[in-house]
Structure 1
């Protein structure tokens, strides 16, 4: 790393940094397993015949090379500008894509330096930045491998669960940020506001693929995801006396994640194979990044519930790709209060969250097992009104049907309407409380300690 520094006419402060880096990562994981113990309940690797001992070793090697530079300029401690650039070469990407470059540029202006000093606005700064960040793939995802020899299927080899992708490209995130920092009343009141927009292209994720391909998972570049939002931080000192001070800080943020595009013609992307019933986390093309998908009761274009002509039960959609919720909260935040009296310091933090959907898996399982409060009316009659296809006239008619709330109804009809198990998340909770006491300096004069805190 090389550093250059030059001051010109006491007005300009210039800095230049040039460097290079090489990073090698080696991970070795060993696992040893024994089966069919000779002495029951005696757990030891030596308590088994050699044919019942299995050793597995996984070695991962990765290399990342990079060159980078940064130029910073400051003018009279009121205006600042910087530009950076970095190029990396990664061993985890295909040869044609393993080199990737990403720059950044930022600037700020302390505009209160151009104003007369006053007690109302003590400090004011405007800032803006544009930056790109590159990211490589996990190791060994460009090739497809075989496992074996297999002992459980009579020998031979089988495909790995994950299909290789020799066309992987580096992931790129581009961000823009605008903000301001203001302090009022001799720094007794402060405001920090930031608006940002992040666009991640070619995100490297491992979704499920069709089992017809012979594999279960595959790392792919997943199109573009956009995050927009803002962050607000307010700090204040309502009371400041000789021996007592009260400081408080409020943080508040909102983010909206949208999938701008998905690879090929995918309408939905599952980043996990975990699901409860027919519900699972999903990202929708031109929709929510942190969405929820599931099956629903069918409705017509006018919103009328569709009923089975014979049974009267609501018809359940066979599709599990219907958007049924968004896991992203409307906003989150925290409020910190800190009280200082002489050597005592007392602080506590509240955090809060508004909105965001969750799939209540506990409620789903209790319903299918008949343990939920919703199933207390088993055996009673339910009434549904909606549209139903008359098998004789082949026309949809408005009908009212009565259905007995049997075990089969809750397990096969009710439980397949996944929105019944989606709930909003709101909370206000006390996150932490702390009380500290600083021992007086007079007690520590003859000791080697300058300060001792007692935490409670």
Structure 2
């Protein structure tokens, strides 16, 4: 520091550290929620009208969400036998955001890795014509926040109607029908000069935009005929019914590449267009029967059977039948003497065995042709029609008319217990779940013309325990403490894959990725690793002192946790109430590209652990020595003693050379939520126009301890909410929230 240099703008500058050059990208966001409701009714009818508004921003500019919703619900007793009701909710949501994910237009992609010597907030990010001024290969964070945008608008209607008719005191019919309709319009814009193609593939430098309209209409109807009869100590209940689902979606998308006028977000501004549309329509019809036999108040047996017919399977295989049986025994009702003295209030045992079947994804039984696209992997894609010539190509994934339903069978047993006048409650269960005929996309030889084919290709199993303990350790006239603990532990395994299939890709990249491998736990992390000898010692290149990577990929991590636990505490003192939610996770691995990049770029604190130069300010220090043995040469097999510089240790040919180097344990302890509220007493409320008046403050994500996961919150997943967990690639950071709330009832 203190050196006179010429910066990337060709201007003289004194080299110094800008401590907050990255922190200043962030700002304080806000979330405001307002809700208003009215309710009323008569002896035979009730209604409720509710209005809601939410406005929310994020911790960087140009990220905003506005949501308005209106809900009406009503119910009326038309006759002594007929009751009808309805519920309608309309929601309008508009949002805008910056780029996300693993692309060079994500403001965090560069923001995290900017060296402290670069005055990110003080230097201009664009010239007078709007071209970005930045020496890196990524977009300047401020330039991409301003120029690369995405926004959408959603109108959604959820409506349902229900009617119940009592034929007799023991027999009734119940009918429900509901619809979910929404329209989504979205638009993404990549400015000319962008470096990340955040919205449109191939728009780097030349710009692009995309407009999409999606319409979804889901319809569901449900009819049951219910009967209940008592015969002495026995009570028999039964139900017969059917269910119908119709799910329809239509999406139309137009992308434009190579913009003419900078900043003009209109499709007419693009030189090349690529329109596409998709329609998905699936139907399911099911019939079911349910019978319950109860003896007194302590023994119950429930039998269920259901048959569905799914449009996603061929006519020969579209029938899906699955039964279930469950039972419970209440020991304290069978032997009432156990409850004397209120030391034992409840002891109940339960068990169940059942199956659930489901069809395939839409259009899985046939193979389809898609619009052809030609690309060399570097330049813009050539999309057909091209120069007046049409072109289609077979989809990479082949359909399979022989697909059969996927079934999951589960056996579970558990117990519920309550003691000491219900001040201590325990709910424990064990379950074993086995899934067969799992429908997976199985890799095949590209010589076949496709890369994958859908098959019933596997068997999965899961064993787990769930434990919930709640109690009131302290209870006095003015103070009480309610405590709850939820514990979950499970192991999921891939028992079998299709013959000849060694693994199945679930998601990710060439390295790392998430795979299913027969005989191993579900969804393991695979990637290139450091070469090791038979004793597990890392092999070191004798010429450089750096580790050698494997040529292929191997298992490098297990994302599944050993257990998770939640602890709730509610403290009440007079009219004050305090709620504390603690969240614990033990075990589970994750690959972090963020940590990899801040170390590779030298901005992690650990990369400055040792001085860069020796006392002569010329010779670089070599403080790092990889723990391993030489891979070859006269000292092959001998311990490595070759020191390397910090730059070499964390650089592309050092730790970064293998994905294994950035597998971290995601164990954490966090204070998920804390809230404090005060409610006016009824004595005070009697002197006001209010029926209820409550004011409070809350905080979320207030504290995190992840001792084995530096710099970032491990609660991230690059692949979103999916079955592929364990990869973190430039995800948006979690935020800490503090706020106040007010609840008034007139």
TM-score, normalized by the shorter chain, greater than 0.5: yes
Say yes or no: does 1:21 pair with 2:243. yes
Deviation for aligned residue 1:362: 1.6
In the alignment, which of 356, 359, 370 is matched to residue 136 of structure 1? 359
Q: Which residue in the other structure is 1:339 paired with?
A: 571
Say yes or no: does 1:386 pair with 2:629. yes
User: Per the alignment, do residues 420 and 383 of structure 1 end up closer, same or farther by CA in structure 2, a change over 3 Å counting?
Assistant: closer
SS in 2 for 1:271: strand
SS in 2 for 1:3: strand
In the alignment, which of 614, 635, 638 is matched to residue 399 of structure 1? 638
In the alignment, which of 648, 655, 664 is matched to residue 423 of structure 1? 664
SS in 1 for 2:316: helix
1:385-441 CA distance string (max 9 Å, x none)? 5375679xxxx9633555563767742453344332111112111112233444444
Match runs of 1:236-385 below 5 Å: 236-272=471-507, 274-275=508-509, 278-306=511-539, 314-320=547-553, 322-369=554-601, 380=622, 382=625
Match runs of 1:218-237 below 5 Å: 218-237=453-472
Say yes or no: does 1:82 pair with 2:302. yes
In the alignment, which of 418, 437, 449 is matched to residue 183 of structure 1? 418
Match runs of 1:438-449 below 5 Å: 438-441=679-682
1:171-213 CA distance string (max 9 Å, x none)? 1111111101111111111111111111122223446665554
CA separation in 2, counterparts of 1:208 and 1:405?
A: 42
Deviation for aligned residue 1:127: 0.6
Say yes or no: does 1:56 pair with 2:276. yes
SS in 2 for 1:94: coil
CA separation in 2, counterparts of 1:97 and 1:289?
A: 28
- Given that residues 295 and 319 in structure 1 are in contact (C-alpha distance below 8 angstroms), is that contact kept between their aligned partners in structure 2? yes
Deviation for aligned residue 1:306: 4.3
CA separation in 2, counterparts of 1:319 and 1:257?
A: 26
CA separation in 1, counterparts of 2:532 and 2:498?
A: 30
- Given that residues 383 and 400 in structure 1 are in contact (C-alpha distance below 8 angstroms), is that contact kept between their aligned partners in structure 2? no
- Given that residues 13 and 73 in structure 1 are in contact (C-alpha distance below 8 angstroms), is that contact kept between their aligned partners in structure 2? yes
- Given that residues 513 and 527 in structure 2 are in contact (C-alpha distance below 8 angstroms), is that contact kept between their aligned partners in structure 1? yes
The range that moved more, 227-236 or 162-171, is: 162-171
CA separation in 2, counterparts of 1:29 and 1:136?
A: 23
Match runs of 1:33-72 below 5 Å: 33-34=255-256, 41-45=263-267, 47=268, 55-72=275-292
Q: Which residue in the other structure is 1:98 paired with?
A: 318
Instruction: Structure 1 unaligned segments of length 5 or more: list them.
Output: none
CA separation in 2, counterparts of 1:246 and 1:270?
A: 48
CA separation in 1, counterparts of 2:525 and 2:260?
A: 50
CA separation in 2, counterparts of 1:233 and 1:206?
A: 37
1:59-106 CA distance string (max 9 Å, x none)? 111110111111101110101110101111111112322111111111
User: Per the alignment, do residues 29 and 334 of structure 1 end up closer, same or farther by CA in structure 2, a change over 3 Å counting?
Assistant: same
- Given that residues 530 and 547 in structure 2 are in contact (C-alpha distance below 8 angstroms), is that contact kept between their aligned partners in structure 1? yes
The range that moved more, 90-99 or 442-451, is: 442-451
Q: Which residue in the other structure is 2:94 paired with?
A: none
Deviation for aligned residue 1:445: 6.6
Q: Which residue in the other structure is 1:12 paired with?
A: 234
Q: Which residue in the other structure is 2:385 paired with?
A: 151
User: Per the alignment, do residues 439 and 214 of structure 1 end up closer, same or farther by CA in structure 2, a change over 3 Å counting?
Assistant: farther
CA separation in 2, counterparts of 1:181 and 1:95?
A: 44
Deviation for aligned residue 1:293: 1.4
- Given that residues 259 and 286 in structure 1 are in contact (C-alpha distance below 8 angstroms), is that contact kept between their aligned partners in structure 2? yes
Deviation for aligned residue 1:20: 1.6
CA separation in 1, counterparts of 2:300 and 2:600?
A: 62
Root-mean-square deviation (CA, aligned residues, Å) is 3.2
CA separation in 1, counterparts of 2:626 and 2:244?
A: 70
Say how many residue pairs are matched: 446
User: Per the alignment, do residues 446 and 214 of structure 1 end up closer, same or farther by CA in structure 2, a change over 3 Å counting?
Assistant: farther
CA separation in 2, counterparts of 1:213 and 1:219?
A: 14
CA separation in 2, counterparts of 1:449 and 1:64?
A: 49
User: Per the alignment, do residues 57 and 297 of structure 1 end up closer, same or farther by CA in structure 2, a change over 3 Å counting?
Assistant: closer
User: Per the alignment, do residues 339 and 308 of structure 1 end up closer, same or farther by CA in structure 2, a change over 3 Å counting?
Assistant: closer
Deviation for aligned residue 1:228: 0.8
User: Per the alignment, do residues 61 and 238 of structure 1 end up closer, same or farther by CA in structure 2, a change over 3 Å counting?
Assistant: same
Normalized against structure 1, the TM-score is what?
A: 0.86
SS in 2 for 1:87: strand
Q: Which has the higher contact order (CA 8 A, sep 6+)?
A: 1
- Given that residues 171 and 204 in structure 1 are in contact (C-alpha distance below 8 angstroms), is that contact kept between their aligned partners in structure 2? yes
CA separation in 1, counterparts of 2:260 and 2:601?
A: 41
CA separation in 2, counterparts of 1:243 and 1:178?
A: 39
Deviation for aligned residue 1:367: 4.5
The range that moved more, 409-418 or 197-206, is: 409-418
The range that moved more, 24-33 or 52-61, is: 52-61
- Given that residues 121 and 184 in structure 1 are in contact (C-alpha distance below 8 angstroms), is that contact kept between their aligned partners in structure 2? yes
The range that moved more, 382-391 or 169-178, is: 382-391
CA separation in 1, counterparts of 2:504 and 2:259?
A: 45
Normalized against structure 2, the TM-score is what?
A: 0.55
